[in-house]
A = this chain, B = another copy of it.
Amino acid sequence: MKKVTLKEIAKQTGVSTATVSYVLNNVANQTIAEETRSRILQTAKELGYVPNLAARSLVKQKTGLIGLLINQSTRSESWRKIRYSSLIDEIEAALSERGYHLILHSLDAAAPKLDIIAERKLDGVIVVDARSDRFHHISSHFPRGVPVLVIDSLINDPLFNQLMFDYASAFAQLPELFHQPQNYYAVLDDYNNEELLRHLASLLPLTSEQIHIMQCEEKLKQFINKQKARKGIIINEAIALLAGKYTASEQLTVICTANMAQLLPANATAVAFKQQKGRLAAEQLIQLINRSELAASNKTIKIEAE
């Protein structure tokens, strides 16, 4: 059983591989006799021809491959993974609709290896939660001209296209927080990107004693137990669920960064964001790809709270 290639179809149809390629790709301004056309289409179907995208990539100089590179601080705790499950799914769905395939790859935030971008000749890349120190250093290794969109990473460089939540608008939903800051505490998700953490802290009218950065359940518990009757602002649903083990959930206001509000206890307060980050990311990246020749309109997009 021979491999089904263009050449094989060409042979069986008695035409050249060029003609077969024209037909199968509906090449514009190549006029093909209707007879040959249907004959080729016919045998292609019979043989179950499927194009080899590696070969195509080689000549077209684009692969149709997008990388989703997620920085992981640690792989150990599985509950942390819900942070991006919705994001991943949305991105995959949106890219699929546009004919792209997704390569999912995780990075060591402390020492990201980005070879995959060049090796696989990725058409575009979405980087999630990158440390800006590492990122700067490494970004020079980027193959020239590969569009990159950075998510959840505050990078102080207009060179990078960024996408993140508008946390200020989320906190603005909580007027009481600003009137009575002493009644609150906050738990931040432990982003690798320290600038983002600092940014979050700066938006909250709280002292550093009132702010905890998530590390592990035990530390969270200790922190919450010290907060007495205060109300909690929790970033990320999974963390909120853990927090719910140590305080009454009606005391909690959850900033829903994982699109998982439904899993929260009914009596917790939830603040969600207006748009799906994943879909937005995918669309944005595709735009970048399509006009990567032009000066990239390096904007930072922020998604507002509902």
| A105 contacts the other chain (CB 8 A) | yes
CB-defined interface of A84-105 with B at 8 Å, one 1/0 digit per residue?
1110110011001000011111
Q: Which residues of B contact A263 (CB under 8 A)?
A: 79, 82, 238, 241-242
> For residue A115, which residues in chain B have a CB less than 8 angstroms away from its CB?
50
- A262 touching B244 in the complex, CB below 8 Å, given contacts A92-B104, A119-B53: no
| Interface segment, one of A54-62, A169-177, A193-201 | A54-62
Residues of B within 8 A of A63 (CB): 54
Query: For A102, what are the chain B residues with a Cβ–Cβ distance below 8 Å?
Result: 103-105
Residues of A in contact with B, size category: 35 or more
A93 with B75: in contact, given A104-B88, A118-B50 (CB under 8 Å)?
yes
Residue A209 at the chain B interface, CB threshold 8 Å: no
Contact A81 B89, beta carbon cutoff 8 Å: yes
| Apart from the given pairs A89-B106, A101-B116, A241-B241, 6 other A-B contacts in the complex at a CB distance below 8 Å | A48-B141, A54-B121, A78-B260, A79-B260, A81-B89, A88-B104
Q: List 9 A-B contacts (CB under 8 A).
A: A50-B143, A58-B58, A68-B104, A85-B88, A92-B106, A96-B105, A103-B104, A241-B241, A245-B266
Cβ distance A71 to chain B, nearest Cβ, rounded Å = 13
